[in-house]
């Protein structure tokens, strides 16, 4: 009987030790995961510092340092074009920046490996010897986590000014289309295809469908301001987009759950009638939604002397 009691006691102790060891392993594993997650997360302060470092490199004309802050598939959207990494850096060779001021920094999380930073800036600079408008400019910069390092993958700026009203709708005021015939297909991982669906909704005045494509926390940056989802829906509901022409599509994949597409929009009746648009699409619980959008009017070429 005593032997049995000793054996049972031994088994209980052994089981307790095994459970304790298992708990320690689980706790350690969870702690490691938490540390790993924490180490890859980016703070607004960190991303803001990286963005300022990029501008410092431009000011110093240290283009090697600038290049190290950007991904190989970086895209830069300006009023005179959309540039890849090499083209963007080359375009800065004749850009002389003497002073820069920032304000209104805000960071929006795209997913665990991507963020978008918005801010305003004013500059004192010349390009090819000609003075650059002081601004302010509405700027946006997206950063992605590539192998544990946060790098810039997208930049766009828009000169702030009061935008002209959208072209008036033909005939009676537009109403949101709600019939089953006006339904639009669901968005997917193809950002270009998604953006075309958005414009199909706008052209058919299906503003309910347009709103459904936007994430609840969506942000839109235009020359005349920065808008939330409600502001975006209100802004398009008074325009006529039926004759919009879309071209020059350039997609950039951030990761498996986020992509950007930039393209040209021509809107007859607008002045200027061309704008460069960019949209970031994100996968939220299996549904693809537009999280960020920015429009930049195309610069009017200066008359030849």
Same domain, 68 and 121: yes
Residues 219 and 140 in one domain: no
pLDDT digits (tens, 9 = 90+) for 119-149: 999 999 999 999 999 999 999 999 999 999 9
Q: Domain residues for 271?
A: 180-297
Q: What is the pLDDT along the chain (305 residues), one digit of tens a residue?
A: 444 444 444 444 455 555 555 545 455 555 444 444 444 688 999 999 999 999 999 999 999 999 999 999 999 999 999 999 999 999 999 999 999 999 999 999 999 999 999 999 999 999 999 999 999 999 999 999 999 999 999 999 999 986 555 555 544 444 544 443 456 789 999 999 999 999 999 999 999 999 999 999 999 999 999 999 999 999 999 889 999 999 999 999 999 999 999 999 999 888 889 999 999 999 999 999 999 999 999 987 665 54
Alpha carbon distance 56, 97 (integer Å): 9
DSSP result, 287-303: EEEEEEEEEEEPPPPPP
If asked whether residues 150 and 61 sit together in one domain, one would say yes
Select from 159, 192, 213 the last residue of a domain: 159
Give the tens place of pLDDT for each residue, 75-129: 999 999 999 999 999 999 999 999 999 999 999 999 999 999 999 999 999 999 9
> Which residue in 76, 87, 74, 81 sits closest to 274, CA to CA?
81
CATH number for the domain that contains residue 214: 3.10.450.50
Is 29 part of a structural domain of the chain? no
Tell whether 174 is covered by a domain: no
Nearest alpha-carbon partner for 263 in 178, 196, 215: 196
Contact yes or no for 262/294 (Cβ under 8 A): no
Q: End-to-end CA distance of the chain, in Å?
A: 112
Measure the CA–CA gap between 276 and 288, rounded to whole angstroms.
22
> Can you read off the two tokens belonging to residue 255?
């990761």
Indicate the burial class of 172 (C-beta count within 10 angstroms; 0-12, 13-18, 19 or more): exposed
**Would you state the pLDDT for residue 174?**
46
Token representation of residue 37:
């997650």
Last residue of a domain, one of 159, 190, 220: 159
- Residue 287 maps to a domain: yes
Q: Is residue 4 a part of any domain in this protein?
A: no
Output the CA torsion sign for 58, 64, 65, 71: positive
Shared domain check, 145 and 184: no
- Count of structural domains, the chain: 2
Residue 97 lies in a domain: yes
Q: Residues 128, 88: one domain?
A: yes
Q: Say if 88 falls within a structural domain.
A: yes
Give the pLDDT of residue 110: 98
- Token representation of residue 274: 């061309």
Residue 128 sits in the same domain as residue 213: no
The radius of gyration of the chain's CA atoms, rounded to the nearest angstrom, is 25
Nearest residue to 137 (alpha-carbon basis) of 123, 121, 155: 121
Please indicate, yes or no, whether residues 198 and 283 belong to a single structural domain of this protein. yes
Q: What is the mean pLDDT of the chain?
A: 86
If asked whether residues 150 and 218 sit together in one domain, one would say no
Q: What is the predicted pLDDT for the residue at 30?
A: 52
117 and 218 in one domain?
A: no
Q: Clarify whether residues 153 and 252 are in a common domain.
A: no
287 plus 186 within the same structural domain: yes
CB 105 within 8 A of CB 117: yes
> What number of other Cβ atoms are within 10 A of residue 45's Cβ?
10
- 151, part of any domain: yes
What token pair was written down for 69? 């802050």
| Within a domain: 227 | yes
User: 186 CB contacts (<8 Å, ≥6 apart)?
Assistant: 287, 288
Residue 181 contacts residue 248 (beta carbons within 8 Å): no
State how far the Cα of 268 lies from the Cα of 186, in Å rounded to an integer.
28
Give yes or no: residues 190 and 149 share one domain: no
């Amino acid at each position: 009987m005593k032997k049995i009691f000793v054996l049972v006691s031994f088994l209980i102790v052994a089981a307790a030790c095994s459970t304790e060891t298992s708990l320690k392993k689980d706790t350690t594993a969870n702690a490691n995961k938490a540390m790993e997650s924490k180490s890859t997360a980016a703070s607004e302060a960190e991303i803001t510092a990286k963005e300022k470092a990029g501008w410092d490199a431009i000011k110093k004309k240290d283009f090697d340092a600038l290049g190290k802050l950007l991904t190989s598939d970086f895209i830069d959207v300006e009023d005179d074009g959309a540039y890849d990494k090499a083209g963007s850096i080359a375009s800065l060779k004749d850009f002389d920046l003497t002073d820069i001021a920032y304000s209104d920094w805000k960071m929006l999380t795209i997913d665990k490996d991507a963020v978008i930073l918005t801010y305003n800036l004013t500059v004192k600079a010349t390009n090819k010897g000609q003075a650059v408008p002081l601004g302010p400019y509405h700027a946006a910069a997206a950063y992605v986590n590539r192998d544990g390092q946060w790098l810039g993958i997208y930049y766009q700026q828009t000169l702030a000014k009061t935008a002209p009203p959208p072209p008036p709708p033909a005939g009676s005021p537009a109403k949101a289309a709600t019939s089953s015939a006006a339904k639009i297909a669901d968005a997917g991982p193809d950002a270009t295809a998604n953006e075309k669906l958005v414009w199909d909704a706008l052209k058919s005045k299906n503003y309910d469908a347009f709103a459904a494509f936007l994430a609840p926390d969506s942000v839109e940056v235009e020359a005349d301001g920065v808008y939330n989802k409600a502001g975006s829906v209100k802004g398009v509901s008074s325009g006529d987009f039926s004759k919009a022409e879309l071209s020059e599509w350039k997609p950039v994949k951030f990761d498996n759950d986020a992509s950007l597409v930039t393209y040209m929009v021509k809107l007859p009746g607008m002045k200027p009638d061309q704008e460069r648009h960019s949209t970031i699409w994100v996968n939220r619980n299996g549904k693809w939604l537009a999280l960020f959008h920015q429009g930049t009017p195309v610069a009017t070429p200066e008359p030849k002397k």
